Amino acid sequence: MMRDSTNMDRIDRAILHEVQGDGRISNAALADRVALSESACLRRLRRLEQQGFIRGYVGLVDQSIAGFPDNVFVTITLHSQQHCDLAAFERAARNIPEVMECYLMSGDADCLLRVIVADARDYERVHSQHLTCLPGVARVHSSFALLTVTKKTQVPIRA
């Protein structure tokens, strides 16, 4: 299974670029945009999927319209970084619907989370019912985002 982007040619890169911009693009339109026959384009697209470059296709929901206009960035310090303690924390964090992203970090805090909420009162609920109850939590520090300057969904595809 090839997963090395250095082995991709310009057509593979063009396909990745196009499907990131429109995951619902028809194969005919995609083939036209990347200057391939439909059958060759479909073969390449399926190969990119099989190799893991394309993990799936999703609809991007506007979080504000869905009732979650606020982003809160939360740093969490754990009591322990032992493997079993980290695994328990990670399992529990994955089950909180409002936690959109969770990263294990280097530096002062152990984890960084992006949490979406309706407002400050909603965040207080998530904080008290979920975040402080996560396994191994020693400290929770929260920062509300004031403005989203940029938020990308497309990974840059370099030549």
Domain ranges of the chain: 5-50, 70-144
> What proportions of the chain, in percent to the nearest 5, are helix, strand and coil?
40, 20, 45
Residue tagged 């190799």 (tokens) = 51
Angle at 63 between CA 57 and CA 65, to 5 degrees: 115
Q: Rounded mean pLDDT of the chain? A: 95
Q: What is the pTM of this model?
A: 0.88
pLDDT, residue 153, reads 93
Distance between CA 153 and CA 159 in Å, rounded? 19
Tokens 């960035």 map to which residue?
A: 73
The class level of CATH for 70-144 reads alpha beta
Q: Is the pLDDT of residue 145 over 80?
A: yes
Question: What beta strand segments (E) does the chain contain?
Answer: 70-78, 99-104, 111-117, 137-144
Q: Which fold has domain 5-50?
A: Arc Repressor Mutant, subunit A (1.10.10)
pLDDT tens per residue, range 52-87? 999 999 999 999 999 999 999 999 999 999 999 999
- 27-55 pLDDT per residue, tens: 999 999 999 999 999 999 999 999 999 99
- Binning pLDDT at 50, 70 and 90, where does residue 7 land? confident
Angstrom distance (rounded) from CA 82 to CA 87: 9
